[in-house]
Amino acid sequence: VIADYADVPHILARQRLLEALLKQPEPRRNGEPLTDLARRKIEARLARRSTLGQVAEARLDDWHNLAVGKPAPEIKGIDVHGKPLTLSDYRGKVVALVFWGTWCGPCMREIPREKALVERMKGRPFAMLGVDADADAGAARKVMEAQGVAWPNWHDGEAGEGPIAKLYHVRGYPTVYVIDALGKIRSK
């Protein structure tokens, strides 16, 4: 695939739906007329389309480097409060690494279970870490405060587009990795 189809666009069904929406004479989303801002966001998303070669390379990297038993890729970034946060600082602890966003219903429904897990593991070598996929870190901060989320969270930008999500090849939300005390992936 990489050698023969590297430059062929990788087109998903939802992208076809967005293309069709933009071609309508008076596009509407959720019953409301499409705003200029929403149109620009859709156009920008469609412009970032991957090729089959890029998708194949990512899948190969996923199989070879993100497999259970492999070292978890290092994450160095900024948390939702603008402070540095590094994955290797949690070496020696089992880490639950959760990719989430405030716009993701299943992600929000998991928060009570995640809070219960953090409470149950209190005093043990365990850390819950999040990777927020909101365009605006302020949205994540508000939800975290309202929901009582006290564990550290990186701010990674828009879903699937941030450097951490790309490093871990996140294709859906929520995505959870369990990393052991030696820094190896044990579950995904």
Do 52 and 174 touch, CB atoms closer than 8 A? no
Residue-wise pLDDT for 142-154, tens only, equals: 999 999 999 999 9
Q: Give the pLDDT band of residue 13 (cuts 50, 70, 90).
A: confident
Residue-wise pLDDT for 162-174, tens only, equals: 999 999 999 899 9
Residue-wise pLDDT for 111-127, tens only, equals: 999 999 999 999 999 99
- What pLDDT sits at residue 60? 86
Q: Give the pLDDT band of residue 185 (cuts 50, 70, 90).
A: very high
Percent of the chain with pLDDT over 90: 65
**How much is the pTM?**
0.78
Long-range Cβ pairs for the range 109-115 (8 Å, 24+): 110/174, 111/147, 111/149, 114/149, 114/151, 115/147, 115/148, 115/149
